[in-house]
Structure 1
């Protein structure tokens, strides 16, 4: 026989209304009582009817996730499963479920968001990206709908709760690391300039060069997709230059893997012939050959904090706007070496 809320209340020694408040995770109930009720629910195998609860409370207990695109290129990148794991854990703590957009184009994504908002399918949204121009963000602000951005908004920064790294500082730090190793011909391999993270990292790279009086060369800045093939294309372009770089700042570990593959194919050694530093510090950075020096941006924490802060906004509409900066650190491995190890005049024919 299926257990009821009254059965849980009887076993826990509380009233049915207290059980309901525990299910709703009410702050009015002590942690001791919550544990007692949850233990009784587990013992009886009781699972609350979330649909009925949503109808009664006018909430869905669901968070919507908006990716820049649902195409295969996006999900090839290890960043996304890691950030989703953080979001999932943050949502699970408060018994929220997740609903993700499936649109492949900007128009489809926008229409998905409108359906989720106007159909009250979710209580709030997390944007897994930040673009220079994004109609979704404008729509959400106009509707005054709860949302959090992973990344720094390009506009209205003081009006939007967002969770981000200091990407300007991180790129400046890694470029300085290469400068300290004696490199001056340092290239930047970035993603799409419509993403704010790319803009911030380019600016940090440029600032590090200016600080030590190194002229930035336009031909040393290349932008491709955040996938392995993007790194391969960028590498071919850079090594075809009359004066190829001796070091690379690559905006993503997956792109860096493409860089390493291309260098290996043409017989160039890392770091003896060229140094490579990257971002994200996902598992493949440690497993690549050689292991990549990479900036750990604490991806899981980006996801966890975005979910936690969105739920705070949902449950308290007066929650103030926040800017949460997740710290970064440079993990030094074997892909960077001093300039004297490299052969700056090596040219490659493709």
Structure 2
């Protein structure tokens, strides 16, 4: 702690640390910055003096000199899409935070109520240099954030994929969502299901478009027609799953299996099916994406595609850190794997 003299709190300076440690003030600064030019012995001595005096470096002031904030901006979907209701976002933030902490970066979360608010907030963050770089937690077809950041030449990474015309221009971390959706559909086909419903998320999201592509590829390869009535789209929330399954099951010939874009939506699907008198998986199979904790705790436990959400966050922060340190690095596309986790909501169809 800082010393007291006559009831007055004394705040120690870098010069006090240098004097007591027997080094130059510049050496103390290099120790604070963890410079490799300073020996481990000197670092230990200076840090011991800092602890003895209760000295804490003014990181904010040092960052102003270095023109850095040591803060990463994390751009969430608009509040209208209820991102914090969905366990995907806390888990991806956990991965981002784990990597950011390694380099002592803080996070600044966007708070836009509407999509128009988000772009204005991004502009303010860039122009005020409030953050050193940004991670976008979503990717949609008409979003203005990516074009703006490219125009400003500001470091950023996307979780998801950018538009096709920006491949090689934008760094991003993503799953192979086409392949994952195709695998999930093929799994149901192997269980002898031929009428398979598809519940997608928001229509303008690239992950939804990729899921649809994989689903259609699998059906086409199996020689099955794609019935547009079997494809419905809703926001990735519990209520979205409930509404979507009502639409699917109201058809004259409802599906015997359903692929759901997201585990939270799938919980809504399971509850609505139960209220309709359907038994899962005896009457209908349900499979999903993400493998968040709630999927294992669902009743019955949910068959789902694990997309390694934590790894998506960790890799995105790692990639952004490299871009901040070296803006001239070539753009990178990092793919994170996926695996099918079979539980109790899927089984082979029972033929009459």
TM (norm. structure 1) is: 0.90
Q: Which residue of 1 aligns with 2:8?
A: none
CA separation of 1:47/1:188 partners in 2, compared to 1, >3 Å: closer, same or farther?
farther
- Gaps of at least 5 residues in structure 2 are 3-10
Question: Residues 132-171 of structure 1: matches in 2 within 5 Å?
Answer: 132-154=141-163, 155-171=165-181
State the shift of 1:241 in Å. Answer: 0.4
Please state whether the residue corresponding to 2:350 is helix, strand or coil. helix
Q: Rg larger in 1 or in 2?
A: 2
Please state whether the residue corresponding to 1:339 is helix, strand or coil. coil
Q: Give the Cα–Cα distance (whole angstroms) in 1 for the partners of residues 295 and 20 of structure 2.
A: 51
Residues 210-269 of structure 1: CA deviation (Å, up to 9, x unaligned): 111111110000000000100000100111101000001101000000000101112211
Q: Give the Cα–Cα distance (whole angstroms) in 1 for the partners of residues 186 and 252 of structure 2.
A: 24
Which of 282, 287, 300 pairs up with 1:277?
287
Residues 78-102 of structure 1: CA deviation (Å, up to 9, x unaligned): 0011111111111111011111111
Q: Which residue of 1 aligns with 2:127?
A: 118
Q: Which residue of 2 aligns with 1:254?
A: 264
Which of 101, 104, 108 pairs up with 2:113?
104
Q: Which residue of 2 aligns with 1:236?
A: 246
Q: Which residue of 1 aligns with 2:318?
A: 308
What is the total number of aligned residue pairs between the two structures?
341
Structure 1 segments (4+ residues) deviating >2 Å = 2-26, 28-48
Question: Residues 19-34 of structure 1: matches in 2 within 5 Å?
Answer: 19-24=28-33, 26=35, 28=36
Q: Which residue of 1 aligns with 2:61?
A: 52
Greater mean deviation of Cα atoms: 264-273 or 249-258: 264-273
User: What value does the CA root-mean-square deviation take over the aligned residues?
Assistant: 2.4
- Gaps of at least 5 residues in structure 1 are 344-350
Which of 171, 194, 213 pairs up with 1:184?
194
Q: Give the Cα–Cα distance (whole angstroms) in 2 for the partners of residues 100 and 94 of structure 1.
A: 18
Which of 344, 348, 351 pairs up with 1:338?
348
Please state whether the residue corresponding to 2:142 is helix, strand or coil. coil
CA separation of 1:308/1:119 partners in 2, compared to 1, >3 Å: closer, same or farther?
same
Which of 233, 240, 245 pairs up with 1:223?
233
